[in-house]
Amino acid sequence: MSQSFEIEGGHAVSGTIRPGGNKNAALPLIAASLLTDDEVVLRNVPAIRDVEALLGLVESLGVRVQRPEPGVVALRADGVGSAEPDPEICGRIRASVLLAGPLLARRGHVRLPPPGGDVIGRRRIDTHVLALHALGATVSSDPREYAFRAAGRLQGAEVFLDEASVTATENAIMAAALAQGTTTIQNAACEPHVQDLCALIQAMGGSVEGAGTNRLRIEGLERLGGAEFTLGPDYTEVGSLITLAAVTGGELRILGARPQEHRATHIGFGRLGIAFHADGDDIVVPGDQDLRVTADLGGAIPKIEDAPWPGFPADLTSLAVVAATQSEGTVLIFEKMFESRLFFVDRLVAMGARLILCDPHRVVVAGRSRLVAQELSSPDIRAGMALVIAALCAEGQSVIHNIGQIDRGYERLDERLSALGARIQRVED
């Protein structure tokens, strides 16, 4: 049965919270367990739908999955045979494409349907194909599936990615870890979750140099061993919590938030007047902020635009739009990566936001707007969270349907926000 959130706006979100583990790290790290017969133990794993789907997917391939305690997953892939990934589960999550690299390296073949996930525009896998082809794989495709094959062991190579794709970088890293010889990946993505994957490969006995930069050097080995690894905090969830506290006027301490990962967020949100500061490894959002857009030099309208890491994260652009509706002034928000991500703003217009969607990538927002409650539907993970935030600072009681999308990326959101003073409850439709 489907569920919805009933949300009463106008209440400050305050207190102390610890963010969940990084969803976008959990997914490639689960896939990396396929690179060894030994046990891989992952800690701080978020209990969210996308993670559960990928765990079900690797389990169907013969991986033994155990959960000895909350937040801990132990995986052992010594029973992986020739079975192909379940196409129905693959159709639910984008992360299914992460099986290509490790399964090619491990057994030389894999067949995958087009990956699922958020419908936020075209999500090409050409970069994955080009990277794996450079390592010696062949790829054939039709509208129903991609068939990856390798005749013998993959070979180390010079790989230049045609875009700094996170998941393509991760696939290339995992494939290169068991390839023969040295692989150099240039124009690599360097997000925190890519760095976590590099650290796990190192912990498994592999050799990865350059983590955190756009040039990686990987020495392939015949065999990797088991390892234990603790995921870092989900920086997108941290950004969501900063936004939520600022627009509702609450004072919030986010524990273990790794402030060094939020430098671009500090600049981008700062243009909207959102302030936060580091206190050790915590982030503190002051209460009762008077949000005002900071104009560029000469009084020009400022711009918030996403960029590859360490630039402003694309997953925070939907949240920036909501924050801009509550900040006095005008700002342009430019989302470059996905041509459908900003289409959710029609819901904000229905709530009273003053904005113009210029094209699929740009929206001009004039704040501060008085938002009023509406009945809404979540189109994807990040837009869903943006609508939750909008509802929590709106007047009246909103209903948000299709919250399964939000559950894909946020663990027990209603329970955790209720503990901070939010009026939000989950109901059966």
- The answer for 394, left when phi > 0, alpha when psi is -120 to 50, beta otherwise, is beta
Note whether 340 and 120 are within 8 A (CB).
Answer: yes
DSSP 296: P
The answer to whether residues 193 and 44 touch, using CB atoms and an 8 Å cutoff, is: no
Q: What angle do CA 275, 279, 280 make, to 5 degrees?
A: 140
Locate tokens 């904005």: which residue?
355
| CB atoms near residue 95 (< 10 Å) | 25
How many residues comprise the chain? 429
50 catalytic per annotation? no
Nearest to 36 by CA among 65, 76, 72: 76
DSSP 356: E
Q: How far apart are CA 65 and CA 31, in angstroms?
A: 12
Among candidate residues 37, 50, 78, 118, the one labeled active-site is 118
CA distance 290 to 246: 9
The answer to whether the CB of 371 falls within 8 A of the CB of 9 is yes
- The two three-digit tokens of residue 280, written as one number: 């050790």
| DSSP β-bridge partners for residue 285 | 252
Q: Which of 360, 423, 411, 425 is nearest to 381 (CA)?
A: 411
Residue 341 neighbours by CB distance under 10 Å: 26
Strand order through the sheet with 182-186: 158-160, 182-186, 215-219, 207-209
Work out whether strand 354-359 and strand 423-428 pair parallel, antiparallel, or are unpaired: unpaired
Element at 252 (helix H, strand E): strand 252-254
Helix 49-60 to helix 23-32 angle (10° resolution) is 10
* Strand 282-285 versus strand 329-334 pairing type: unpaired
In eight-state DSSP terms, residue 233 is: B
Query: How do strand 277-279 and strand 207-209 relate by DSSP bridges?
Result: unpaired
- Is residue 124 helix, strand or coil? coil
Catalytic (active-site) positions: 118
